[in-house]
Amino acid sequence: MPCTESEILSLKETAGNLRLTMVDVMAWSGGSHIGGSLSIADILTILYFKYLNIKPDNPSWPERDRFILSKGHAASGHIPALAKKGYFPEEDLKSFNHFGSPFAMHADSNKVIGCDASTGSLGHGLSMAVGMGLGARYQKKDFKTVCLLGDGECCEGSVWEASMALNHYKLTNVITIVDRNKLMIDGLTEDVMRLEPFADKWRAFGFEVIEIDGHNFSELAAALDRGWAAEEKPVLILANTIKGKGVDFMENNVKWHYGSGDSDLCEKAKASILKGAQNG
């Protein structure tokens, strides 16, 4: 259902706090994939705090909705979101990527409570979503599977094989989101491996494509409502985002695909997030 004004304010506050924690994780771990984590903060927030039917006190609940972070290197965004949802104490995040920690640069579903899929070999997440969608159908269960891809990984052929399968089997119980921040590890997606006309490609594979501002909660809610209600075609939400969103010196800067920083830089990053929250 559409976001109310009070919901939007609450979601913005939660997303801002999530971004602050992402910066902390970058400091605690000695470095992280901060740019692509910041770009999906709003998507993670609306999924975990409005849409996903989940029970943090019963993480293996069979009827729960599933979430697959195909761009698994953004675990430094996903794992803090799980902590804020209550799957485990936020204090535990201080061990991120340390020896013996359950939290690594790519989340392991056997170690991270609330994580539905181990990802990181890019291009594999959507194939797993196909399997979960078929599994739900054959078991006659109503849960949805949401798969969030990075745009950079969409040059992998396995993404398009999975897309064909989603359309072939009419898996409307799978909702696909692409974090279209237009940057990947080596530079602009259009320089490394051109994706455009990107939306038309998804349409050609049989998807209903919804293009939105991936930082606008009203647009995110409308797109997710459509995805949840789909009956004829699988839905692809093309979320236009900004890599490094919220930290002024990281935004649209490929340098921050992976980054680290001392305490002064982290405080500067957090000040930028807080300033943006006050202005927006």
Q: Where are the alpha helices (DSSP H) in 177-247?
A: 189-192, 198-204, 217-229
Q: Could you read off the pLDDT of 13-70 as tens digits, one per residue?
A: 999 999 999 999 999 999 999 999 999 999 999 999 999 999 999 999 999 999 999 9
- Burial degree of 2 (CB within 10 A; 0-12, 13-18, 19+): exposed
Which residues does residue 238 pair with via DSSP β-bridges, in sequence order?
178, 211
Domain that holds residue 46: 5-279
For 68-96, the DSSP string reads EESSGGGHHHHHHHHHHHTSS-GGGGGGT
- Burial degree of 198 (CB within 10 A; 0-12, 13-18, 19+): buried
The chain-wide mean pLDDT, for the chain, equals 97
- DSSP assigned state of 259: B
Which residues does residue 211 pair with via DSSP β-bridges, in sequence order?
238
- DSSP assigned state of 137: H
Residue percentage of the chain with pLDDT more than 70: 100
Which residues does residue 241 pair with via DSSP β-bridges, in sequence order?
none
pLDDT at 3: 86
- Burial degree of 4 (CB within 10 A; 0-12, 13-18, 19+): exposed
228 pLDDT above the threshold of 90: yes
Domain count along the chain: 1
CATH code of 86's domain: 3.40.50.970
Q: Could you read off the pLDDT of 65-120 as tens digits, one per residue?
A: 999 999 999 999 999 999 999 999 999 999 999 999 999 999 999 999 999 999 98
Alpha-carbon span 11 to 238, nearest angstrom: 20
